[in-house]
Amino acid sequence: MLRYIARRLFEVIPTTFGIIVLTFVLFNVVGGSSAEVVLGKNATKEAIAAFNHRHGFDKPLLVNMEKGQPLWDSQFCHFVVDLAHGDFGESTERREPVIDVLKRGVGPSLSLTVPMLVGGTLLGLALALLCAAFRGGAVDRAVLFGSTILMSVNYVVWVLAGQFILAYKCRLFPIWGYENAFYLVLPVLIGMLSSLGVDVRFFRTAVLDEIYKPYVRTARAKGLSGPQILVRHVLRNSLIPIVTYVSLSIPYLFTGSLMLESFFGIPGLGSVSLNAIHSADLAVVRAVVVLGALLYQVVNLVTDLAYAWLDPRVRLG
């Protein structure tokens, strides 16, 4: 197990370096002049030069070959060092460190997305196990029919219908704001409902792939009940694809749900990212891109370690 963990940790290093290089190229080379994006095309040469000097864009890209200057006095080296210290630069719109902007948005994003992920996953698994227990019957067909309907409705329709019917007409929920936990109930319900159809069908397929295998017949021959077989044996052996599916959503716990936060006025990272794009606040956009990519790295690592814990064949292979 330790060799498997060490190997996976070693594999993270080149991928992480590639993420850093690609992000640097996208925002410092391909994206053109940040000064023109922030200050506008009509900015004077003096203003552009001052902006570039303030943010270090007047330094060489990779290495500094100027006489008397250290080689590492370059944009890329400063970018890597700043990332290592958790420094994402300064927000050009808010005139404050980007890390402070992100810190304020993490809490609202987590309070919205964690209940969506946990509640949606548990409900989807429960319905998938129900379909497996009554496979081919009326319950199975009803759940499949309902999930197909959920998959067929556009995400925006759920948001607009929920706001208009439940919040505006019925006055059951607030439409806009983030004053207390009650303001999150409607967006959480909409988020769970919009993804439930896909979740149920995927989880059902993963469970049914295991339910016809020989060990299930052996467990049934030993006298185990249907619920015991489903929960203790089938569910555990079907967790590999389920963990993979759920892990893909985990980075969004931190980067936020852009659409829900925008529609319901929740000041999370999704809303922060959208505002940064509209105002050309490249430092914030770059920070969100880097954090999202690095979170995928961490999630993939944890997922692979979960594979090894769930199935010994993974770490022994």
Asked if residue 231 belongs to a domain, the reply is yes
Task: Specify the number of domains making up the chain.
Answer: 2
Asked if residue 151 belongs to a domain, the reply is yes
Give the pLDDT band of residue 33 (cuts 50, 70, 90): low
Q: Using CA atoms, how far apart are residues 12 and 301, in angstroms rounded to an integer? A: 8
C-alpha distance from residue 78 to each of 55, 60, 75, 97, 290 (Å)? 11, 11, 5, 16, 15
- Examine the domain organization and report whether 290 and 161 are in the same domain: yes
- Examine the domain organization and report whether 127 and 179 are in the same domain: yes
With contact defined as beta carbons under 8 Å apart, do 301 and 34 qualify? no
- Examine the domain organization and report whether 111 and 216 are in the same domain: yes
What mean pLDDT value characterizes the chain? 85
- Examine the domain organization and report whether 252 and 195 are in the same domain: yes
pLDDT digits (tens, 9 = 90+) for 229-267: 888 888 888 888 898 888 888 877 766 678 888 889 999
Asked if residue 101 belongs to a domain, the reply is no
- Examine the domain organization and report whether 122 and 183 are in the same domain: yes
Residue whose entry in the numeric block shows the structure tokens 């569910």: 235
Asked if residue 19 belongs to a domain, the reply is yes
Q: Using CA atoms, how far apart are residues 161 and 187, in angstroms rounded to an integer? A: 12
What average pLDDT does the segment 154-171 reach?
91
3-state SS class at 317 = coil
* Domain termination residue (choose one: 33, 50, 84): 84
Asked if residue 89 belongs to a domain, the reply is no
Query: Domain range spanning residue 158?
Result: 106-316
- Examine the domain organization and report whether 48 and 187 are in the same domain: no
Q: Give the least confident one: 29-33, 144-148, 211-215.
A: 29-33
Query: CATH number for the domain including 215?
Result: 1.10.3720.10
- Examine the domain organization and report whether 282 and 198 are in the same domain: yes
Cα–Cα–Cα angle for 213, 214, 215, nearest 5°? 95
Judging by beta carbons within 10 Å of its beta carbon (0-12, 13-18, 19+), is residue 159 exposed, middle or buried? buried
- Examine the domain organization and report whether 178 and 41 are in the same domain: no
- Examine the domain organization and report whether 176 and 303 are in the same domain: yes
With contact defined as beta carbons under 8 Å apart, do 55 and 34 qualify? yes
Q: Where are the alpha helices (DSSP H) in the chain?
A: 2-25, 34-39, 45-55, 75-84, 98-133, 138-152, 155-161, 185-211, 214-221, 226-228, 235-237, 239-247, 251-255, 258-264, 269-278, 282-310, 312-316
Residue type (1 letter), 190? I
- Examine the domain organization and report whether 158 and 225 are in the same domain: yes
With contact defined as beta carbons under 8 Å apart, do 51 and 39 qualify? yes
* pLDDT of 217 over the 60 cut: yes
- Examine the domain organization and report whether 271 and 158 are in the same domain: yes
Residues in the chain: 317
Determine the pLDDT at residue 1.
65
- Examine the domain organization and report whether 140 and 277 are in the same domain: yes
Asked if residue 90 belongs to a domain, the reply is no
Asked if residue 275 belongs to a domain, the reply is yes
Asked if residue 95 belongs to a domain, the reply is no
Determine the pLDDT at residue 61.
83
Determine the pLDDT at residue 121.
94
* Domain termination residue (choose one: 54, 84, 114): 84
Q: Using CA atoms, how far apart are residues 185 and 174, in angstroms rounded to an integer? A: 9
The DSSP code sequence of 42-54 is T--HHHHHHHHHH
